[in-house]
Amino acid sequence: MHQFVRLIVILLALGCLGACAARPAAPAAPARGAPVVLAGGSAPELPAVAARKARLEAALTAPPYILLAAHTSDDWLTAAQAAAVADPRVRAATRAPDGRPLRAEVMALGPASAGDVPPSLERACAAQRCARVQIYVHPTNTTVTALVAADGTVLGVDALADAQPEIPADLADLAVQIALADPQVAAAFEGLTPDAAMATMSATKTALETTSCERSRHLCVAPVFRWGNSALWTIVDLSEFRLVGAAWTDQGVSGRRIWSEATLQDAALASLCETPVVLERAGWRLSYLLTSSDGLELRDLRFQGRPVLVSAKVVDWHVGYAGRDDERVGFSDAIGCPVFSAAAVIPYAPPQIAEAPGGGFTLELTFRSPHWPQPCNYQYVTRAHFGPDGTMRFLAINEGRGCGVEGIYHPVLRLELPPGADLSDQNGARLTQEGQTIWRPGAPHVLQARTADGLLALAPRWDEAEHAYVYWTRPAPGEGQGDLPSIGSCCALDARQGPERFINGESLDGGAVVWFVPRISNAERQRCWADTALEGGALRPRVWPCGAGMEITSRTGPAGDGENGFAQAPHSSPGQGRGESGFPHTPAHGRVWESAAIPGEEVTPWRPSNDVRPLSARGAHSASVAPASASA
């Protein structure tokens, strides 16, 4: 309600732009306690948005399957538009390979200016008027420009990938409406009283800047609300009709474009890499922090005041594939902070906290490669479920797509037990020294930990896992209490997953760390997979997730000798569909994208010259010329 009131204030205030021009000049800029905010992700329920969506949907139902420019008073331009959208080259650029139409709309229609006409067409456009028809194809982020002669001849068609056109006035208006309708923008004006807002908005000017949504590759613009020397930048996604985020800047008057989708997202998450966030909910208390390369770390977990875990995190994702000559190849993917980190896969949005079906809540964070769900790009989710009964599930989830159909994932989960915890196996036998074992679905595997405050049981959550390597080690600073670099082999199919290197005969009298490394094989369009599907003219990711993890149950009071105090651990088998990761879903964003080069490195081509001596005279080389691996 509070936010709604603020929103009304802003709408009234901005509506006052003209009428209030005689009011006093602006005082100090608004308070900026949170200089960067990310929006929630859904389109506002605005009549203008609904109307635009309806027009786009209608355009996809009948030829030419392109949303045409609204109105033009010049018949020859209308005819030119019709000729352009009927051109086979334009049709090809606005269709999927199977012929289905992609969402496309005419963004500009008008007489071609001299600068629009390439030299090869100058003569043709000198003899008669030429029209320029510019079409934006949303799913491919491509701008198609057609030059059409007054007689209806399509003189040329140019499709420029990853290029976005100027937008028409009605879309610009819509962008401003979307920005103002979002509660995040209203919240950004926090600190102004209603009176002050209304009085000072006469000093506010709105401009539409260009910006980039370089991660989603959507059509985005930036309505900027300038306020003296400050400016509120908002980025609006006109492919999804939603606000991406907003930020205050002191450089608003300079016009420098320092904000984009990526910089907003990174800035919004950066503080989570520095300062843990404390979460108290449903009897649980914990903090969470984004690490450099160990993903989202949950710390000091307590239920009703009793310690449950010191730390829970996923330190690595090992991804292996079958290579040539029985070799295995792959990656050790580190997940972590989006800025200043050793992470290869980063989050684009803050952790999500939600009510869980059946009670309790979930905390999860998604990490994504830049071109997911393309091949060799990955999406990982760390999810924790906190039950109202003191049960906590910690899951490592993969959402594809991988580099092939024979991928094997080994997420490395690290769970540090409360200090002094006595560890024992499912039979109650104490584990006094570091060790390891393998667990398989169907057996009653469980580890038990006796603490000063009660008992803990750690059981596997198999979901899609085939088996798991389990290790127990003594806590140590260099063994994961801080950020842990990649450990183990990316591609080993046995227990050489990294934690084994910490097993060196030490006793567990100082507590214990349990490492759980499930093995999960991917399967095309079944598990650990992602693909794109054309829906309503837009390409959307489709996900077949996979995952596994551990369930930690806490129980108060001491247990008697030989009594473990817990029911049998679940005997589930993998792939039963009961897991929390086993249901395909379609995230809101993602785009097919093709490229080859790896930035950060370079190529220096040359042709050899003749002024050098042969190498054999020096005998310097022992290596041989070998076939290169597949191109990057």
Partner 1 sequence: MRQAAGANPAPAALAATGACARQPPFAQELTASLPGPLALATDRPMRGLALVSLDGSGRSYQHQSWDDGGFMGAMTFDEAGNIYLAPTPRQSLADNPPSGATTLWRVDGRTGVMRPFATLPGAASERNPFGVLGLSYACDLGLLFAGTVIGSTPSVERGGVVALSTDGQIRATPVDGLDAMGVTVVRADRRYLLLAGLARRPAIVGVPLDARGHAAGPPVEIIDLTAGGATASERARKLRFANGELSVDLVSFNYTLQVNASGTAPLRRAIWRYDPHTRHWTVARQAEQQAGP
Q: How far is the CB of 370 from partner 1 (least distance, A)?
A: 5
* 3-state secondary structure labels for all residues of 324-369: HHHCEEEEEECECCCCCCCCCEEECCCCEEEECCCCCEEEEEEEEC
366 binds partner 1 (CB under 8 A): no
Binding-residue pattern over the window 101 to 140 for partner 1, x denoting contact by CB under 8 A: ----------------------------------------
- CB closer to partner 1, 120 vs 609: 609
Give the list of residues 6+ apart from residue 99 with CB closer than 8 angstroms, or none. none
DSSP 547-580: EEEEEEEEEESPPPTT---SPPPP---TT-S-ST
454 binds partner 1 (CB under 8 A): no
- CB closer to partner 1, 157 vs 197: 157
Q: Tell me how many residues contact partner 1 (CB under 8 A).
A: 80
Among 142, 341, 398, 473, binds partner 1 (CB under 8 A): 341
The continuous run of DSSP H or E covering 284 comes out as strand 284-290
266 binds partner 1 (CB under 8 A): yes
Chain position carrying tokens 């139902």: 61
325 binds partner 1 (CB under 8 A): no
Query: Which of these, 109, 105, 126, 106, lies nearest to 117 by C-alpha position?
Result: 126
Backbone angles phi, psi at 309, to 5 degrees: -140, 150
Residue at 231: amino acid letter? A
**3-state DSSP call for residue 29?**
coil
632 binds partner 1 (CB under 8 A): yes
- CB closer to partner 1, 61 vs 610: 610
- CB closer to partner 1, 61 vs 622: 622
Among 237, 333, 463, 464, binds partner 1 (CB under 8 A): 333
627 binds partner 1 (CB under 8 A): yes
- CA 294, CA 291: separation in Å to the nearest integer? 5
Q: Segment contacting partner 1 (CB under 8 A): 105-113, 267-275, 472-480, 559-567?
A: 267-275
Q: How far is the CB of 616 from partner 1 (least distance, A)?
A: 6
- CB closer to partner 1, 219 vs 514: 219
Among 245, 336, 541, 575, binds partner 1 (CB under 8 A): 336
Query: Which of these, 234, 216, 132, lies nearest to 174 by C-alpha position?
Result: 234
- CB closer to partner 1, 26 vs 262: 262
Among 190, 300, 483, 524, binds partner 1 (CB under 8 A): 483
Q: How far is the CB of 272 from partner 1 (least distance, A)?
A: 12
- CA 354, CA 360: separation in Å to the nearest integer? 9
Chain position carrying tokens 């401009």: 207
Among 98, 325, 326, 611, binds partner 1 (CB under 8 A): 611
Residues 144, 86, 51: CA angle, nearest 5 degrees: 70
* Helix pair 169-181, 47-59: axis angle to 10 deg: 130
Among 292, 311, 398, 497, binds partner 1 (CB under 8 A): 292
- CB closer to partner 1, 184 vs 293: 293
The footprint of partner 1 on residues 206-245 (CB under 8 A) is 211-212, 214
420: burial class by Cβ within 10 Å (0-12, 13-18, 19+)? middle
Residue at 329: amino acid letter? V
- CA 188, CA 14: separation in Å to the nearest integer? 14
374 binds partner 1 (CB under 8 A): yes
Among 377, 398, 497, 564, binds partner 1 (CB under 8 A): 377
Among 249, 260, 382, 564, binds partner 1 (CB under 8 A): 260
Q: How far is the CB of 534 from partner 1 (least distance, A)?
A: 21
334 binds partner 1 (CB under 8 A): yes
Structure tokens given for 188: 């950004």
- CA 619, CA 377: separation in Å to the nearest integer? 43
C-alpha separations of 239 from 52, 104, 121, 586 in Å? 11, 10, 33, 16
| Cβ density class 360-393: b for 16+ within 10 Å, e for less | bbbbbbbbbbebbbbeebbbbbbbbbbbeebbbb
Q: Segment contacting partner 1 (CB under 8 A): 170-178, 188-196, 335-343, 392-400?
A: 335-343
Give the list of residues 6+ apart from residue 306 with CB closer than 8 angstroms, or none. 390, 451, 453, 454, 554, 556
- CA 468, CA 517: separation in Å to the nearest integer? 5
Bond into 64 cis (ω within 30): yes
Length of the chain: 632
Q: How far is the CB of 496 from partner 1 (least distance, A)?
A: 14
- CB closer to partner 1, 566 vs 593: 593
Q: How far is the CB of 300 from partner 1 (least distance, A)?
A: 22
Q: How far is the CB of 594 from partner 1 (least distance, A)?
A: 8
Q: Segment contacting partner 1 (CB under 8 A): 70-78, 143-151, 366-374, 432-440?
A: 366-374
- Looking at the DSSP bridge assignments, the partners of residue 209 are 222
270 binds partner 1 (CB under 8 A): yes
Q: How far is the CB of 402 from partner 1 (least distance, A)?
A: 13
Q: How far is the CB of 336 from partner 1 (least distance, A)?
A: 8
- CB closer to partner 1, 309 vs 335: 335
263 binds partner 1 (CB under 8 A): yes
- CB closer to partner 1, 73 vs 629: 629
618 binds partner 1 (CB under 8 A): yes
Contact 518/468 with Cβ under 8 angstroms?
Answer: yes
Residue at 584: amino acid letter? P
- CA 212, CA 141: separation in Å to the nearest integer? 11
- CB closer to partner 1, 200 vs 532: 532
The footprint of partner 1 on residues 407-446 (CB under 8 A) is none
293 binds partner 1 (CB under 8 A): yes
Q: How far is the CB of 468 from partner 1 (least distance, A)?
A: 23
The footprint of partner 1 on residues 570-609 (CB under 8 A) is 593-609
Query: Which of these, 185, 163, 164, lies nearest to 242 by C-alpha position?
Result: 185
Q: Segment contacting partner 1 (CB under 8 A): 117-125, 138-146, 350-358, 481-489?
A: 481-489
Among 26, 155, 262, 503, binds partner 1 (CB under 8 A): 262
Among 62, 114, 169, 615, binds partner 1 (CB under 8 A): 615
Query: Which of these, 168, 128, 167, 165, lies nearest to 148 by C-alpha position?
Result: 128
25 binds partner 1 (CB under 8 A): no
The footprint of partner 1 on residues 134-173 (CB under 8 A) is 161-162
- CA 274, CA 141: separation in Å to the nearest integer? 35
Contact 338/346 with Cβ under 8 angstroms?
Answer: yes
Q: How far is the CB of 337 from partner 1 (least distance, A)?
A: 7
DSSP state of 189: T
